[in-house]
Amino acid sequence: MKIAAIGEAMIEMSITGDQAQLGVAGDTLNTAIYFKRTAPQIEVDYITRLGRDSFSKRIKSFIADQSLGTSAIETDDDRVPGLYAITTDYHGERSFSYWRDQSAARHLFQSQNSYSFHCLKDYDALYLSGITLAILPPSVSMALLEYLNQSAHILAFDSNYRPALWPEQNTAKSLITEFWKRADLALPSIDDEMLLMQQSAAAVTERFIKSGLSGALKRGAEGPISLGEVVDQTYLPAQNVLDTTAAGDSFNGAYLAAKFSGASQAEALAKGHDCARHVVQHRGAIAPLV
């Protein structure tokens, strides 16, 4: 099996007090890394667009160092990567500042006035998120959906709604709803869906349980709700939450890796939750290897 995660890789500044630690991250990249760590036998590529500057080279080297394939990464002569800074409060809750308007990744799949998804043809499964859709022009996101509707790819999707990335909420609602219809594996977070659809937690839960989708509705420390199959098991909370960055991304990576490795739904849910528990006890998106 060959899998690709699609999105934006950025320079990450994780700030603690007066100190800043430089790293590389991005929601779908985080998921790809935790997928590969959980299932090293599965081939995983990362697809994005970078520049030719030193930070782009740093990002590409980092991706390769995580044992992810880089052959499908596009290069832009005129643009550079995005950057974001993370600050966390004493509860471990995060806040972000972004500099990504001129990011090369916003031009992924595009060439002059046309676009192409030819680079996706050799993959069995694709993973992308609402952030992937938000950074692309709506016309490109819709063309990607049309391509996927005609393809046999297994599609894993997380809405990962970030309001600041969208021109307005209705655009996000419409496009994300269409991608839920195409998804084979759904990995929504309850907080994102409550915010996006202006629904209560109970309404979001009911909507996804009735949707017929397979996957997991993520609820942080409470543990996931199984979608598509009834699973009754308990999940332990993290003992020492330092930073919730990439909690959902890491869950997605470990869950998908387990599923694509043949694990049961219950095993995959437990793998995802345990991975997220580990990650939130470390600062930054990418926890050290254990």
Length of the chain: 290
- What separation in angstroms does the CA of 196 have from each of 84, 120, 204? 22, 28, 10
Name the catalytic one among 27, 45, 76, 249.
249
- What separation in angstroms does the CA of 104 have from each of 26, 30, 169, 213? 14, 18, 24, 33
Q: Is 249 a catalytic residue?
A: yes
Contact 108, 136 (CB under 8 A): yes
Closest by CA to 130, choosing from 99, 173, 95, 167, is 173
Q: At 176, phi and psi to the nearest 5?
A: -65, -40
**Pairing mode, strands 225-227 and 214-217:** antiparallel
What single letter denotes the amino acid at residue 48? T
**CA separation for the pair 231, 136 (Å, rounded):** 36
**CA separation for the pair 260, 258 (Å, rounded):** 6
**Residue owning tokens 């890491």:** 250
DSSP 189: B
**CA separation for the pair 265, 43 (Å, rounded):** 21
Give the residue numbers annotated as catalytic, written as ranges: 249
